[in-house]
Structure 1
């Protein structure tokens, strides 16, 4: 499951990079302050944020943090005063 998820993010990263490479020469960023210039800057920033988010996931910066959070969640579930049923409801012992 984890490999498929990384593959999906890799495909999205490539699509975002291709979109950025295609659009950068067409964006008018040299005309100075105008609505067209503002759109080009905002669009470029958004594209870089999308690329950075996918890189962040692919590199796995938060994997250790996710493992620690899962351990805390399991520990809290063990300490819960009821027992979790299979439907997701709490039943008393």
Structure 2
């Protein structure tokens, strides 16, 4: 299932990149600032964000972050269990 997801995100990224490469040469900076140029620049920024989001998923940065968070949770649970065991030992002695 993961390979299919990565393939899907790869295709979407390539489509967004193709759209961006098609649109960039059409932007004209010679006429000066205008609404059309502003729209084109904003559209290109959104296209870059879409490409970056799909690339982020393909690289798997989320998986690495998820593993790190799981390790932190496990460590905190071990600390909590250790403290709880110590408190139960102390209360048993009294």
Q: Please state which band the TM-score falls in when normalised by the shorter chain.
A: 0.5 to 0.7
Q: Distance between the aligned counterparts of 2:70 and 2:14, measured in 1?
A: 30
Q: Does 1:12 align with 2:16?
A: no
Across the aligned residues of Structure 1 and Structure 2, the Cα RMSD in angstroms comes to 2.2
Q: With a CA cutoff of 8 Å and minimum separation of 6, indicate the structure with the bigger relative contact order.
A: 2
Question: What is the count of residue pairs matched by the alignment?
Answer: 75
Q: Does 1:60 align with 2:66?
A: no
2:49 alignment counterpart:
49
Q: Give the superposition deviation at 1:27.
A: 2.4
Q: Distance between the aligned counterparts of 1:56 and 1:48, measured in 2?
A: 12
Q: Give the superposition deviation at 1:70.
A: 6.3
Q: Name segments (4+ residues, structure 1) moved above 3 Å.
A: 67-72
Question: 5+ residue gaps in structure 1?
Answer: 73-93
2:26 alignment counterpart:
26
Determine which structure has more spread, i.e. the larger CA radius of gyration. Answer: 2
| Structure with more helix by fraction | 2
Q: Can you list the C-alpha shifts for 1:35-73, whole angstroms capped at 9, x where unaligned?
A: 01110110110111111111111111111222455685x
Secondary structure of the structure 2 residue equivalent to 1:62: helix
Change in 2 beyond 3 A, CA 1:30/1:40: farther
TM-score normalised to structure 2 length: 0.66
Question: 5+ residue gaps in structure 2?
Answer: 74-94
